[in-house]
Amino acid sequence: MEALANSLEAAEYLNAALEEGDRALFLSCLKNVVQAQGGVDKLSKMSTNDYIQDLIRHGQQRQQSLKLAIQEGINSGLSSRNAQDILKETKAQLKYG
């Protein structure tokens, strides 16, 4: 629930819920996002410009993190593992944290 305070995480969460095509699920997820972002009062006071600036700021942070991860991968050199094993390990890490 704490991750939903991040606007980008919240947007991804809502998009995933929307893709399910279940209105009740989407509304439940929307309620979770509103609560995580400070409630209806706080969100209603936030201007569209503030929200867009927040999305941009988080997007820039995510882009910087991605650039650092790519550079770390480049700096690590070649691996003795094959692509299939690396993909399998990565999927397991994503699934189990």
Structural domain spans, the chain: 2-96
**Model pTM score:** 0.47
pLDDT score, position 28: 92
Token pair for residue 72? 């770390």
Looking at the predicted structure, is the pLDDT value of residue 93 above 80?
yes
pLDDT score, position 61: 83
pLDDT score, position 6: 82
How confident is the model over 11-28, as a mean pLDDT?
89
What mean pLDDT value characterizes the chain?
85
User: Which residues touch 66 (CB under 8 Å, ≥6 apart)?
Assistant: none
Return the ∠ at Cα 97 (arms to 87 and 92), rounded to 5°.
Answer: 25
pLDDT, one tens digit per residue, over 41-81 is 777 777 777 777 877 887 788 888 889 999 998 898 888 88
